[in-house]
Structure 1
Amino acid sequence: MTDAIADAKRAMRAELRERRHLLSDHARETAEAGIQAQLDALIAERDVRSMSCFLSTTTEPGTRKFVTDAVARGIRVLLPVTRNDGLLDWAVATTDGDISEGLFGLPEPVGELLGPIAVNDVDLLVIPAAAVDASGMRLGWGRGFFDKTLGSMERCPPVYAVVYDSEVVDEVPREVHDQRVTGVVTPTRTLTLAPTRR
């Protein structure tokens, strides 16, 4: 990573993190309802039976209600569990599952862990992001878990990143290992930005 790209990524993440911290409780609740509606429409359109999603932190666009409702409707949802080696394990979401604090303070499910390849058979991946640009390039939070996961998948289903509306930007700094996403889900819209990865 060149210093210039690393510095640009750090600066952009810091600005986006600050903006998220300044959101009001009402704005967060409105965003969560919007994300749920957009994700419900996306899984209906794509006839999703099995997917991955993530448990949102307090500053991320809310996904938890969507996950709970999707599981209650019979959709198999895999949730990521961080590992020290930079890969992700997966656990099947349940309607009454316990949540603990994983690496980096991220909310993660408690339960039987499935290995990194468990996600290979899902119909849709829904992942977090700091920002996504018009070409589908995703800026993550710098830990590389999802870039490694996407880069290692032999047959990758559609991948949608969840961000706030203001985080769909013209361009994000990128490096060779950074992975594009198929599209982006915001509280008000779902955009398809790049072809499904193979």
Structure 2
Amino acid sequence: MSDAIADAKRALRADLRERRNLMSAAARDTAESGITAQLDALLDRFGVRSMSCFLSTTTEPGTRQFVTEAVRRGIRVLLPITRADGLLDWSVATPDLDITEGMYGLPEPVGEVLGPIAVNDVDLLVIPAAAVGQDGTRLGWGRGFFDKTIGSMERCPPVYAVIYDTELLDSVPRDVHDQPVSGVVTPTRTIDLAPARR
């Protein structure tokens, strides 16, 4: 990655992190309800039976309510578990989900650990992002877990990034390893994007 791209990504992430930290609890609750409704509609649209999702941190658009409701609906939801080698293991969400703090302080499930290839059979990937550009370029938080996962899949299903409405930008800095997304889910809408091609 060139220094210019790395610097641009760092600066944008810092700005986005600060904005998220300034959100009120009420705004976060409203956003989580909106995200849940948008993701529920996405499940119906794609006829999803099995998917991956992530457990949101306190500043991310909330996904935990959605995960609980999806499990209640009988959807198989795989949740990521970070690994030291940069790959992701997975665990199936359960109705009595137990959460612990994983690497980097991220919330992760406690349960049977499935290897990285467990995600190969899902109908939909729902992933975190700091921001997404109009061309589908996703800006993550810099650790590369989801870029590696998406890049290693033989048959990648639709990939949607969960962000706040203000985080869909005209463009974001992009490097060769960055994997595009199919669309974004925000608290107020779901937008399909034409992923950038290399």
TM-score (norm 2): 0.98
| Structure 1 unaligned residues grouped into runs of 5+ | none
> Within 5 Å, which residues of 2 pair with 1:113-152?
113-152=113-152
Partner SS, residue 80 of structure 2 = strand
Structure 2 letter corresponding to 1:187: P
Structure 2 letter corresponding to 1:37: A
Using the aligned pairs only, state the percent identity: 79
| Alignment partner of 1:10 is 2:7 | no
> Within 5 Å, which residues of 2 pair with 1:51-130?
51-130=51-130
Structure 2 residue aligned with 1:29: 29
Matches of 2:48 and 2:168 in 1, distance apart? Answer: 25
Q: Give how far 1:100 is off.
A: 0.3
Q: Give how far 1:194 is off.
A: 2.1
Matches of 1:165 and 1:83 in 2, distance apart? Answer: 30
Structure 1 residue aligned with 2:189: 189
RMSD, aligned CA = 1.2
Structure 2 letter corresponding to 1:157: P
Structure 2 letter corresponding to 1:159: V
Partner SS, residue 191 of structure 1 = strand
The list of structure 1 runs, each at least 4 consecutive aligned residues, that deviate by more than 4 angstroms after superposition, is none
Structure 2 letter corresponding to 1:22: L
Q: Give how far 1:102 is off.
A: 0.2
Structure 2 letter corresponding to 1:8: A
Partner SS, residue 56 of structure 1 = coil
Matches of 2:186 and 2:95 in 1, distance apart? Answer: 24
Structure 2 residue aligned with 1:174: 174
Give the total of aligned pairs: 197
Partner SS, residue 65 of structure 1 = helix
Matches of 2:143 and 2:136 in 1, distance apart? Answer: 19
TM-score (norm 1): 0.98
